[in-house]
């Protein structure tokens, strides 16, 4: 199960459930691959809907490597993503949101 508090997102790729996570290294890789100078520009690009399918694959690939998977861009080009492009776009959006959202306090369980 993906842990949203750790920034993880689950996606089924090639029939295998994978965890994606944008570590600082994964974000640096993504900036370089997509030619963005800042994290803000990178986020604005996706939030503004100015991304291509190649951008989406780059984001998912960076998230996979940040999550510990050793899959390259060539692997993703041939892989089947369960739910198709829409599921990939949803996972990418969640991945970015979780990378830049500070978790709030947990529920108050009244433990006093």
pTM for the full predicted model: 0.82
Whole-angstrom Cα distance, residue 18 to residue 44? 26
pLDDT of the residue at 107 = 52
Q: How far apart are the first and last CA of the chain?
A: 30
Cα separations (Å) of 105 from 22, 97, 99, 102?
A: 21, 17, 17, 10
Which residue is listed with tokens 């986020």? Answer: 43
Tokens describing residue 88? 């990939």
Per-block average pLDDT, block size 10, for the chain (112 residues)?
87 94 90 86 84 89 91 85 93 89 60 51
pLDDT of the residue at 61 = 92
Query: Which is nearest to 79 in space by CA: 16, 33, 19?
Result: 16
Whole-angstrom Cα distance, residue 82 to residue 18? 11
pLDDT of the residue at 12 = 96
pLDDT of the residue at 110 = 56
pLDDT of the residue at 82 = 96
């Amino acid at each position: 199960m993906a842990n949203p508090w750790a920034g993880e997102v689950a996606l089924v790729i090639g029939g295998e459930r994978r965890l994606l996570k944008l570590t600082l290294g994964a974000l640096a890789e993504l900036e370089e691959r997509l030619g963005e100078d800042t994290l803000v520009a990178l986020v604005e690009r996706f939030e503004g809907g100015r991304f291509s399918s190649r951008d989406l694959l780059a984001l998912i690939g960076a998230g996979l490597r940040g999550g510990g998977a050793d899959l390259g861009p060539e692997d993703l080009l041939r892989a089947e993503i369960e739910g198709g492009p829409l599921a990939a776009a949803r996972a990418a959006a969640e991945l970015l949101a979780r990378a830049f959202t500070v978790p709030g306090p947990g529920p108050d369980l009244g433990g006093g």
